[in-house]
């Protein structure tokens, strides 16, 4: 199985040297559960795309520091690519920015959250639509780091899970699209580095609560298994 990672960001050198770029984080996440998995990176910020969508079995859109509603050429091009993938019923997974961009590309809406930044570990509650994912209980925990969130899902999408701060935290569309607002690829050290970088922007109460939440175990491996099962089915 081969996943095309549509990379939507370039990290600061001090971060990429310590943690790797986002495709490396996903490689570490997925290869634990599926060592024979192949990952192909396409840096869509530089307009790198597969020559043919059949080059990969599925595509994954990463997180980004930018907002999906910005009129930036590479973001517009990525939305068009998502429309092509959707028309072909190609498997797509969206994470954070990817979750939001898929919604925007397919008739939904993303806005800056009124509550501001959502950071740290958050409990995500699965609903009655998420039977496929309820083998391990009614809830899971993921790290979050976002100030935008989906306010309207893609046309025809199904809501699978919510957090207290983010009502649209996990969605599906047909049998070919799965999206998460949270970050299964983040580890606690990287999450803390991001929090430290944004401490002044976040404000001390939000920062302190997020740092405290890092003590909570997260379910990265569980979500990794879900994504692999979703692609394989």
- The tens digit of pLDDT for each residue in 21-45 reads 999 999 999 998 899 999 999 999 9
Judge whether 184 and 133 are in contact, CB under 8 Å.
no
How do residues 157-199 score in pLDDT, each as one tens digit? Answer: 999 999 999 999 999 999 999 999 999 999 999 999 999 999 9
* Domains of the chain, start order: 2-232 (3.40.50.880)
Three-state SS at 60: strand
At residue 210, does pLDDT exceed 80? yes
Q: How confident is the model at residue 139 (pLDDT cuts 50, 70, 90)?
A: very high
Distance, CA of 150 to CA of 128 (rounded, Å): 20
At residue 132, does pLDDT exceed 90? no
pLDDT at position 114 is: 85
pLDDT at position 60 is: 99
Token duo for residue 5: 């990672």
User: Over pLDDT 70: what percentage of the chain?
Assistant: 100
In the residue annotation, 122 being an active-site residue is answered as no
Over residues 4-14, the mean pLDDT reads 97
Sheet holding 170-173, edge to edge: 38-43, 2-7, 58-61, 91-95, 177-180, 170-173, 158-162, 118-126, 139-146
Judge whether 103 and 109 are in contact, CB under 8 Å.
yes
Three-state SS at 204: helix
User: Over pLDDT 90: what percentage of the chain?
Assistant: 94
pTM of the entire structure? 0.96
At residue 136, does pLDDT exceed 80? no
pLDDT at position 131 is: 86
In the residue annotation, 96 being an active-site residue is answered as yes
Catalytic residue among 21, 56, 96, 118: 96
In the residue annotation, 139 being an active-site residue is answered as no
pLDDT at position 32 is: 86
Average pLDDT, the chain: 97
pLDDT at position 135 is: 73
């Amino acid at each position: 199985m081969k996943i095309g990672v549509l990379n939507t960001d370039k990290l600061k050198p001090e971060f990429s040297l310590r943690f790797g770029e986002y495709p490396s984080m996903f490689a570490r996440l997925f290869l634990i559960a599926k060592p024979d998995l192949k990952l192909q990176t396409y840096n869509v910020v530089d307009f790198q795309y597969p020559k043919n969508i059949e080059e990969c079995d599925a595509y994954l859109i990463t997180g980004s520091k930018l907002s999906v509603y910005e009129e930036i050429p590479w973001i517009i091009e990525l939305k068009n690519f998502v429309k092509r993938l959707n028309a072909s019923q190609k498997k797509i997974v969206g994470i954070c920015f990817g979750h939001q961009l898929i919604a925007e590309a397919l008739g939904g809406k993303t806005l800056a959250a009124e509550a501001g930044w959502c950071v740290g570990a958050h409990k995500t509650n699965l609903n009655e639509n998420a039977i496929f994912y309820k083998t391990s209980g009614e809830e899971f925990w993921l790290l979050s780091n976002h100030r935008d969130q989906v306010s309207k899902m893609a046309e025809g999408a199904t809501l699978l899970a919510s957090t207290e701060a983010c009502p649209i935290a996990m969605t599906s569309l047909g049998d070919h699209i799965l999206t998460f607002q949270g970050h299964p690829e983040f580890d606690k050290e990287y999450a803390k580095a991001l929090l430290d970088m944004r401490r002044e922007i976040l404000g001390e109460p939000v920062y302190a609560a997020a740092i405290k939440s890092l003590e909570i175990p997260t379910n990265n491996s569980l979500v990794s298994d879900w994504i692999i099962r979703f692609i394989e089915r």
